[in-house]
């Protein structure tokens, strides 16, 4: 069965996105997500899920990952995403070289990364921190 979400809005840009697993507020009021926040969140979470599958298969260890995503939209209509920067910050990796390779593989196999890369120039950076 296909994934399904429901969006309900007022007569202004304030609404709720409901999925089978939870809900979030969408709009311009405090505490709400805007469309590109949702896109970046989908991109980052898909990339991380794919990355996690790869590092688990390689039996690599780490303490966590922070993902920062930023982007610029085109000025011409439609104002699609022009560039995006995804930064993975890996905490206490067991093998930095293998984590770097795993991140590159994840960008190749993540379906949302591949979809977005059809319209935007995406860059991936990997950083390591020891805590």
pLDDT tens sequence across 4-53: 999 999 999 999 999 999 999 999 999 999 999 999 999 999 999 999 99
Question: What SS3 state is found at 47?
Answer: helix
SS3 content of the chain, % helix, strand, coil (to 5): 35, 35, 30
User: What is the reported pTM?
Assistant: 0.92
How far apart, in whole angstroms, are the C-alpha atoms of residue 114 and residue 76? 23
Q: Per the structure block, which two tokens stand in for 3?
A: 């994934």
From the list 96, 97, 47, the residue with the least C-alpha distance to 69 is 47
> Which residue ranges form the domains of the chain, and what is each CATH number?
1-33 (no CATH), 35-129 (3.30.300.20)
Q: Rounded to an integer, what distance in angstroms lies between the CA atom of residue 121 and that of residue 123? A: 7
Write out the two tokens for 24.
Answer: 């979030």
């Amino acid at each position: 069965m296909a994934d399904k979400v429901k969006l309900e809005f007022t007569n202004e840009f304030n609404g709720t996105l409901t999925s089978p697993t939870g809900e979030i507020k969408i709009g311009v009021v405090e505490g709400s997500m805007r469309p590109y926040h949702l896109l970046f969140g989908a991109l980052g979470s898909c990339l991380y899920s794919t990355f996690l599958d790869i590092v688990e298969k390689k039996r690599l260890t780490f303490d966590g990952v922070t993902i920062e995503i930023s982007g610029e939209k085109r000025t011409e209509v439609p104002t699609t995403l022009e560039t995006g920067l995804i930064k993975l910050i890996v905490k206490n990796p067991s093998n930095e070289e293998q984590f770097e390779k795993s991140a590159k593989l994840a960008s190749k196999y993540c379906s949302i990364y591949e979809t977005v890369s059809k319209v935007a120039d995406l860059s991936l950076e990997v950083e390591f921190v020891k805590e």
